[in-house]
Amino acid sequence: MSENKCDNCPYFVAQKVIKGKWSVMIMYFLNEGVHRFNELERRLEGITHATLSRQLKDLEEKGLVIRKEYPQVPPKVEYSLTEVGKDLIPVMISLEKWGKKYTDYMTKANCNCDE
């Protein structure tokens, strides 16, 4: 099968790696430290159990998240960022700054500030 020209484009690769509605928010919370599944589920208002599970598996498969399972009853599983996942944090901080600027821009654009 031939390789798509975009497959080696850094923007395409980055978008592919952090795709998913909740990926950035999950990584944001994991940047604070280790979290258990239920902690993440509580903090991510509106996410379903199945969606969180799928997003965590996807982030783990892409090498951004570590899943650590402890052999005990009841089962204990913790999630944290890998080193390459931590490397994404400065990018997320830049996205946060841009998001704030954009929100301010849209607020000003949608108000009747000239009246």
pTM strictly above 0.85? no
pLDDT band at 3 (very low <50, low <70, confident <90, very high): low
Asked whether the beta carbons of 78 and 102 are under 8 A apart, the reply is no
**Mean pLDDT of all residues in 39-53:** 96
Residues 75-97: tens digit of each pLDDT: 899 999 999 999 999 999 999 99
Looking at residue 115, what is its pLDDT?
Answer: 47
Provide the domain limits for residue 32.
5-110
Residue 15 lies in a domain: yes
Domain count of the chain? 1
pLDDT over 70 for what percent of the chain? 93
Q: Comparing 1-5, 64-68, 109-113, which segment has the lowest mean pLDDT? A: 1-5
Residue 16 lies in a domain: yes
Q: Which domain CATH number covers 56? A: 1.10.10.10
Residue 115 lies in a domain: no
Chain CA centroid to CA 102, Å: 19
State whether the Cα torsion 96-15-61-58 is positive or negative.
Answer: positive
Looking at residue 2, what is its pLDDT?
Answer: 46
Residue 75 lies in a domain: yes
Residue 92 lies in a domain: yes
Residue 86 lies in a domain: yes
